[in-house]
Structure 1
Amino acid sequence: MVERVSVYRAPTAAADADRIARWLDERGEWAVDVRGRFLDDASDELARGFARARVRSPYDRETGSEMLGVVRYEERALENPERAGGVIYDGLRVQDALRERLPRGERSPEHAHVILLDRVLGTWGEHDGRWHKRVSVLGWPALVSVPGLYEAPAKPEAYYREQGRRALLSGDPPPREVLENEVEGEFLIEDDPRTTEALAGYVLGAVHYLETGEAFCDDERCRLSNPHRQEGVVRAQLREPEFCPRHAERYG
């Protein structure tokens, strides 16, 4: 059983760790505390860990590069999070690198560590031989990607049709911001004011996995589900009911 949950802040104001912790505190018997950004006080070895976790290509299973320029980029990204972007990281390798940084006295299954990250995480799909962006990587520590909330679940079909149409006309894909403002549909965008509320469900899902071993709920209306499309995220995380009947008994 999980007795304590530590939630680590992200550098973005869109993700309010204190609000998430208060919401989480109301849904279990565990004690919840909020801590500073996990990637503060970074070491050279952590920069190398991120460099080794970098996804090279959507269809290349091998990851990482320890070229000096790549490691220097990761050092700068750790010091200045706002400069990071455009890179996907192997979520499992990042998880391994961060696990080594957990306080030695807090390395037990009863203490859940949920780290809000400013990096885009992915996992390799054996079924189709490609990387897939993820909002969360379950386990210990659990990782929840703030940019993954906007990028991992697929947007409405109209978004991709308009993206292709504009690319044909101009020769280049249009800026994401243009499409987000012009395409109708339900989806979350960068710095969305609904970010904190949506992420709370993913944080609970990470703790639920450590408690029960259940990765995701099959009911797409439940906050413990794992929607693959943005419309599903909005429905599961931002609409009533919060939980399916089974999980409402536990967390409702």
Structure 2
Amino acid sequence: MVERVICYRAPSTVADVDAVADWLRERVDATVDVRDRFLEVRRTDDLPERFARARVLSPYDRETGNTMLGTILYEERALENPEREGGVLYDGVRVQRALNDALPDEERDLEILHVAVLDRAIGTWGDHDGRWHKRVNVLGQPALVSVPGLYEAPAKPEAYYEEKQRHALLTGDAPPREVLENRVQGEFLVEDDPRTTEALCGYVLQAYHFLETGQAFCEREECRLFNAHYHEDLIGAQLRDPEFCDEHAALYAPDA
């Protein structure tokens, strides 16, 4: 049984992890604490090299890692200045192992769940189609929750990608959020979206649910525990009522 949840902030993002922790406290039977950035408070000397080894080199190449000196130096700088990191996809399982090794012995018990909210894009390899897939979270210990993954992992409406490409051809830049929202039908989240914190709540709860019950996700689209593959479904699950299906409302609804 999970007795304590420790959430780690992601200060280079708009995610308010303290607010996520407040939301979680009302729904789980565990103590919920908040700490500063995991990659700061649990930094080890080998983390730059381990992030370098976790780099995805190609969408269709299972092998990861580039340990050239320049890459390791980049990872060192990214740890020191996270706002300068970007555009790199990491093997979420490799990152999880690295962060697990950084946990202190006294906090390794599975009664304590660590949730590292990250400013990195993470992915997992799909054996079924032979390619990498971006993820919002990787469940386990510690659980990883990727803020960039919230924007990038679920598929957006096709018109979104068409408008983004058209704008880039004309201006050389990515279109502002308001341009995309005005010209593309359908709902989706984009970088620094003000709904980020609210949407992340369900993904942190998924991490708790997995360690507590051994079950990964819910198959019902109206539930916070649903693993959405499209932005429309993400918004339906995380930002609209009801919060939970009947089964999981009995476990997690505040008035249950």
User: What TM-score does the superposition give when structure 1 sets the normalisation length?
Assistant: 0.94
Give the secondary structure class of the aligned counterpart of 2:32.
Answer: strand
Match of 2:60 in 1: 59
Match of 1:103 in 2: 104
Give the secondary structure class of the aligned counterpart of 2:46.
Answer: helix
**Counterpart-to-counterpart distance in 1, 2:19 and 2:88:** 28
Does structure 1 retain, via aligned residues, the 8 Å contact 2:8–2:117? yes
**Counterpart-to-counterpart distance in 1, 2:140 and 2:49:** 22
Does structure 2 retain, via aligned residues, the 8 Å contact 1:154–1:230? yes
Deviations 1:9-30 (A, max 9, x none): 0123511111111110111110
Does structure 2 retain, via aligned residues, the 8 Å contact 1:180–1:189? no
Give unmatched runs, 5+ long, in structure 2.
none
**Counterpart-to-counterpart distance in 2, 1:195 and 1:222:** 17
**Counterpart-to-counterpart distance in 1, 2:113 and 2:45:** 26
For 1:124-203, list aligned pairs within 5 A.
124-163=125-164, 175-177=174-176, 180-181=180-181, 182-203=183-204
Give the count of matched residue pairs: 250
Does structure 2 retain, via aligned residues, the 8 Å contact 1:164–1:173? no
Match of 2:15 in 1: 15
Report the more deviating stretch, 154-163 or 238-247.
Answer: 154-163
> Structure 1 residues 109 and 43, CA, compared in 2 at 3 Å: closer, same or farther?
closer
Deviations 1:157-214 (A, max 9, x none): 21123345567x65x9862536635423201111111111100100000000000111
1:119 aligns to 2:120 (yes or no):
yes
**Counterpart-to-counterpart distance in 1, 2:222 and 2:35:** 30
Does structure 1 retain, via aligned residues, the 8 Å contact 2:164–2:180? no
Quote the RMSD (CA, aligned, Å).
Answer: 1.7
Deviations 1:78-133 (A, max 9, x none): 00000000000000000000001112101111110001000000000000000000
